[in-house]
Amino acid sequence: MSKLTLDTAKEIVDAAEERAAEIDVPMCIAVTDEGGNLVAFHRMDDALLASIDIARNKAYSSVALRMETQTIQEVSQPGESLYGLGNTNDGRIVTFGGGLPLEDDGAVVGGVGVSGGSADEDVDVAEAGVDAFDRS
């Protein structure tokens, strides 16, 4: 298992930014290490201010729970086993798409969080970042 480096985090950010530009949605992109600590962050011109914290918290959530934030959304709905999860961890757990764990040999070594568009657009851009990580 390899450690997430700053150089790799920059590659993730670059790939995600490129995809965000392709779909013409300004995004905030955050990359965290296995402890949920910020390694890299980028706010595209005109990205929403609220998206700064949301992107960071999506990356954190995907690492802290070792799952995509889209999956967190599914299991935290009323009547589901983890209902209320979004109210834990001082409100840092995000319960909608755009946060993806970064995995190496089955172990979570970091996370990428993207915010600025719809949840589907955020997932799309985050996936571009994960693809760059998988190629590195």
Chain segment 54-88, per-residue pLDDT in tens: 999 999 999 999 999 999 999 999 999 999 999 99
Q: Indicate if the pLDDT at residue 91 is higher than 60.
A: yes
Instruction: Please give the pLDDT value at position 1.
Output: 52
C-alpha span between 16 and 55 (Å, rounded)? 12
Q: Indicate if the pLDDT at residue 136 is higher than 90.
A: no
Chain segment 2-16, per-residue pLDDT in tens: 689 999 999 999 999
C-alpha span between 117 and 123 (Å, rounded)? 9
The pTM of the full predicted model, rounded to 2 decimals, is: 0.95
Q: Average pLDDT for residues 90-118, to the nearest whole number?
A: 96
Instruction: Please give the pLDDT value at position 19.
Output: 98
Structural class in CATH, domain 6-135: alpha beta
DSSP 26-63: --EEEEEETTS-EEEEEE-TT--THHHHHHHHHHHHHH
C-alpha span between 88 and 85 (Å, rounded)? 6
